[in-house]
Structures are given as C-alpha cells and as structure tokens.
Amino acid sequence: MTLAVGIIGLPNVGKTTLFNALTRAGAGVASYAFSTVEPNTAMVEVPDRRLARLAEMYKPKKITPTLMKFVDVAGLVKGASRGEGMGNQFLASIRDVDALAMVVRVFRDPNVQHVSGGIDPVADMALVNLELVLADLDVVNRRREKIAPTARFKPSSKEEAEVKLLDRVRAHLDAGQPVRTLSLEAEEALLLKSFALLTAKPVLYVANVDEADIGHDTGPVAALRAEAQRENADMIALSVRLEAELRELPDDEAQAFLHDAGLKEPALDAFIHAAYRLLHLSTFLTAGDPEVRAWTVREGARAPEAAGVIHSDFERGFIRAEVVAFTDLDAAGSYAKARERGQVRLEGKEYVMKDGDVVLFRFNV
C-alpha cells in the first residue's frame, strides 16, 4: 500500500510544521528507510488503541502499527496554474498523491507573515481550489482539442464518448466546481483517472487555529466548515503549533499538556485517522506471541488480498482465514474464550475484510 496524502495550501499556513509533527508521531518513524529517500515524504504511524489492548492479551515481543504516507508539498501561490512561483513543480508533485489535506490558516500571529494580507480562510481555500480547477481545465482542454472532430480527423466512437465526458467535466470546472463533486458512472471515473485531475482527488480541510480557539468554532472556522460541507468534505480544526509541541514531550507531560488544553487525545491522531479514511483504507490485525501488528488493505478487499499484504505466499496458497472481530475479542478477553463463544469464524476466499478483524491466515505453498 503506497497511497499518499499530499499536504497542500498557501505558503506560511503551517504545512511543514504539521508534516514535522507527523513524522515525530512515533519513535520508530525516522528509522524507516523510506522516510529518508525523499526529505518531504514520510511514512507515518497510524495510531491504533486496539494494538495496546491486544498487547495486554498476547504479551508480544513486538508491537507494530501500520503506516501511511504523507507528502509535504511546496506552497501554492496565486497563478500557480500558469506556472507562477513554484507552480509547475507544485502541480507535478500533487498529481502523484491520492488525496489532499489542505491546510488553511486561521491563527492570527502577527509575527508570521500572511501571504494575502489578512485572515480569511474561506477566501484562501477558494484561491487554492481555483488554481487546482484552472490546472484541471488546462488538462481537459488540451485533451479535448486533440480528439475533437475536424475536417481531417474523425474521432472513433470511443473518442466521441470521451469528448462528451470532457465537455461535461469542462462545464463543471468552468463553473468553478471541483471534479470530485461531479457524479460519474464507474466507467467515466475510470476514464478520467488517467488524467490524474487534481480536483478529482478527495480532500480534507485542516483549519489551523490559535491555541485559544481550540474547541470553539469561531466565525472563520464555522464558515470554513460550511464551505467544506457544501462539497461533502471533512474539516478538522486543530492548532498545528500545539500539536507539534505535544510531540516533543514525554508521555506523562503530554498528558498534562493535553488536559490543560482541554483535549482528550491529540488532534493529530484524529487528523491521521481522517486522512486514512480519505484514502478508503481499512485495518486488520494479527496477534500472537511474537508480534501484535496492524496492517492496511483497501476497503472492500477480500481475504486472500489481505493475506497478500503480509506475504505473497499467503495469497497464493490461501486456504482460509480464522477471523474474530476485535470488539468481540476485547469483550471475551482471550482468543480461547472468543472461540468458546462461537465468535471465531472460518472464512473463505470471498470474505470481504472488515476494519478491526483479527485474523489468522491458513495457507499452503
């Protein structure tokens, strides 16, 4: 699984601070070879309380969380779609990601320069979205021209269908709307996929608020939330600076710090979970005496595909899976007890994995 979330937004909104906080989210993260390959890309641990509970039961030698990939993308400026600033580089680096987390500045701090003068998160969000819309229009228009009928060129029926689709997409973009809000047939979505349109990617809005505003939907945050809702997107409000400081503290101090800030758990955890959902990923767990571990599959994956995440032999030689839902195992208190209660199921090749399944794969190679 190498799906990635790109952190985007205007300059000076807290993208890199957020990225750095994420990469410090777990002690082991820096040691993944991956995180040193590209300095702005990191594999980040997905926090999962279920692991701690399983570790209580199994007393494993090792606990391994699952990881997801984040990319810190260079800031976007007005005119990026025409190549202003680092425009082209910016656009190239977000073509490759699967989802976007857009950081929007709400914090006031006069010491941090604001690119567009004042605090106006809705306007900033619109500005970034507009650049993405313009970049997509460019892609669509170029393709559209290539396959449009002319005196010398007669498109195939497949190309004709494509022209029709592109016209619909273009009208939507012309109205300033992102492609993710256009309803598409599965076939159309597949066709569009090859264009890697930026506004087709799912998005999560991150309102970077002042510490004093945590937990209150101040005017600008409420306005941003309403905008996000209009396009069926999630929004999360957090103080990037506070979350970054939190990551620097030892556990006990972090607890006290959280308490003082009026938080139950780090908002960064909620952010990672929201980003994970955005990618349509799902977690299953394996538990034993050597290791308790979380693994990632795409939502809707069947058992053999999940087995293949662990090892290709497991998929090739898949026989069946022994599955118990984490909640059942948790309530039962042990695997033996869960089995007694008839909660350990034998599942075959067609079984669709559910988030929180604790699995033992049987295979033969």
Distance of CA 250 to CAs 22, 162, 253, 254, 255, Å? 16, 56, 6, 6, 9
Residues in the site for ligand GDP, rule: CB under 6 A?
Answer: 9, 11-17, 75, 107, 109, 112, 208, 239-241
Strands (E), the chain: 4-8, 41-45, 62-64, 67-72, 99-105, 203-208, 234-238, 281-287, 291-298, 318-325, 345-347, 357-363
Residues sharing a CB contact under 8 Å with residue 297, sequence separation 6 or more, in sequence order: 1, 281, 282, 283, 284, 305, 306, 309, 353
Piece in contact with Mg ion (CB under 5 A), picked from 10-18, 189-197, 271-279, 288-296:
10-18
Distance of CA 96 to the CA centre of its chain: 13
Q: Which residue number, 121 or 356, has a Cβ lying nearer to Mg ion? A: 121
> What single-letter amino acid sits at 297?
V
**Residue in the block written with tokens 């497991």:** 314
Q: Which residue number, 107 or 351, has a Cβ lying nearer to ligand GDP? A: 107
State the nearest-atom distance from the C-beta of 13 to ligand GDP, in Å: 4
Rounded CA separation 290/312 (Å): 20
Residues 14-33 that bind Mg ion (CB under 5 A): 15-16
State the nearest-atom distance from the C-beta of 316 to ligand GDP, in Å: 44
Rounded CA separation 81/95 (Å): 13
State the nearest-atom distance from the C-beta of 291 to Mg ion, in Å: 36
State the nearest-atom distance from the C-beta of 169 to ligand GDP, in Å: 30
Q: Which residue number, 22 or 338, has a Cβ lying nearer to ligand GDP? A: 22
State the nearest-atom distance from the C-beta of 111 to ligand GDP, in Å: 7
From Mg ion, ligand GDP, none, interface partner of 239 (C-beta below 5 to 8 A by class): ligand GDP
Q: Which residue number, 16 or 93, has a Cβ lying nearer to Mg ion? A: 16
From Mg ion, ligand GDP, none, interface partner of 11 (C-beta below 5 to 8 A by class): ligand GDP
Q: Which residue number, 15 or 50, has a Cβ lying nearer to Mg ion? A: 15
